[in-house]
Copies of this chain bind each other. A is one copy, B any other.
Amino acid sequence: MKLHRRVFVVGGHVTPFIGKSHPDFVWKRHPDFGKRENPTLEQHLTAAIRGAFDDTGVDPAAIQRGTVGNFLGSLFSNQAHLGSMAVRAHEGLYGTPFVRTEAACASGGLAVTAAIDAIQAGLDVTLAAGAEVQTTVSPREGAGFLARASHWETERDIDDFTFPAMFARRNKAYKERWGVTEEQLAHIVVKAYANANRNPLAHMKAVKVSLEHASAPSDTNPQFLRNEELREHLKVTDCSQVSDGAAALILASEEGLTRLGISASDCVEVLAYGHSTGPLGMVDDYTSLNTTSRAAREMYADAGITPGEVGVAEVHDCFHVTEALMTEALGFTDAGGGGRLAAEGATTLEGRIPVNTGGGLIAFGHPVGATGVKQVLEVARQMKGRCGDYQIATPPTVGVTANMGGDDRTSVCMAFRA
């Protein structure tokens, strides 16, 4: 999508992403069990929106449109209609038009593009939020909820853990086709945790993972699928996290920046986005992300940039193999080169193309609806040198995001320039 009006990321806020293994997450063996509850979906969403106002100094009354990315509030929290929930966050928002966007795990990215579209349509200041809470039920029950992102009628029963099984299938096909090894892919996991260990907001900020641990199954890193054909192709550390959390950002046109009294030089500019949707349940190639490739091609063409110019990327690493495939879809390496790219260290904070610098979905965490919004803020923060202990030494000037829903069924890619 070419932008005929310039759009700027003014700033925003990400809540801590929490869940099992996070020190603050309350569960039955936590010392606070019975004394306090984990934050609700409303609390996460509210914190992100208020935080975005605090971060930017923008008056809530200046917001002309809001969007909320969320996948399954109606199941995990018995709560839909999250646009109206978002408006509760501040009196200055009462009456402001809001809508929820949903495309499974791409819900957040499409909240951002809808807020961009609203600026293209003539508005000047918009807000995009995303939130998810997934820890209200057991992981197995939650996996059934998350299977709503698949074509339920034909795909749900591949395993109790539908999506882990679908990506084990990709992992199997990918390794077989290109000779990629689990140890190569384990570098993606190790990088994710290493980055998260430097990120105070990360779900896995306190968990260390070694290459040895991530490379092979073990008692503490089990293969948990029941599907016998796929079981050996997925371990616990290969997976992203079942996290709770939220993110919100504010976008503005040039006129909007003037009205807000904010300089464009303090912002990051959105150059273009690409969005593609494939037919549910009809993946034609397990060894590449064709829908993401299509979105990425649109993004690069409309932004007028090339993969070689990209200095930081946030990609949808719902599983380790997905990050490898994402780096291929974004053109950072050739088809089949994703494992080698990671093993060479090219995607670390010091590498030629740092990917998922805060830990990605694997270790920063994956509160589904928040992810696509968080990705944009991560890229913007790296460009502005605001990433603290995981800051890239020389802040990059061009960055991209790639947010995906389901098994590469919906993809949205965005390009930014500092």
Contact = CB atoms under 8 A, between A and B. Distances in A.
Contact of A148 (B40, B79, B87): B79
A278 interface: yes
A2 interface: yes
Contacts of A104: 80-81, 84
Interface secondary structure of A, over-half rule? mixed
A204 interface: no
Given A75-B74, A97-B275, A278-B94, A405 B84 contact: yes
Interface stretch (A13-21, A116-124, A306-314, A385-393): A116-124
Given A71-B80, A101-B100, A85 B117 contact: no
Interface stretch (A149-157, A243-251, A375-383): A149-157
Contact of A406 (B84, B102, B151, B406): B84
Interface in A76-126: 77-85, 87-88, 93-104, 110, 114, 116-118, 120-122
A276 B81 contact: no
A98 B149 contact: no
Given A122-B4, A148-B79, A280 B103 contact: no
A42 interface: yes
B121 A280 contact: no
Given A2-B122, A148-B80, A156-B78, A277 B101 contact: no
A112 to B, nearest CB: 11
Interface in A131-149: 145, 147-149
B120 A279 contact: no
A285 B108 CA distance: 33
Nearest to A284: B94
A403 interface: no
B100 A102 contact: yes
A331 interface: no
A87 B280 contact: yes
A84 B1 contact: no
A292 to B, nearest CB: 11
A103 B83 contact: yes
Given A74-B74, A280-B87, A294 B110 contact: no
Given A4-B122, A84-B410, 9 more contacts: A1-B122, A84-B409, A88-B282, A95-B278, A97-B275, A100-B101, A114-B117, A116-B121, A117-B121
25 contacts: A1-B121, A1-B122, A4-B121, A40-B153, A75-B75, A78-B148, A79-B151, A79-B152, A80-B149, A81-B280, A81-B406, A81-B409, A83-B103, A84-B277, A84-B280, A84-B405, A87-B277, A87-B280, A95-B294, A97-B275, A99-B101, A100-B102, A101-B102, A102-B102, A114-B117
Q: Which 3 A-B pairs have the closest CB atoms?
A: A120-B121, A97-B275, A80-B148
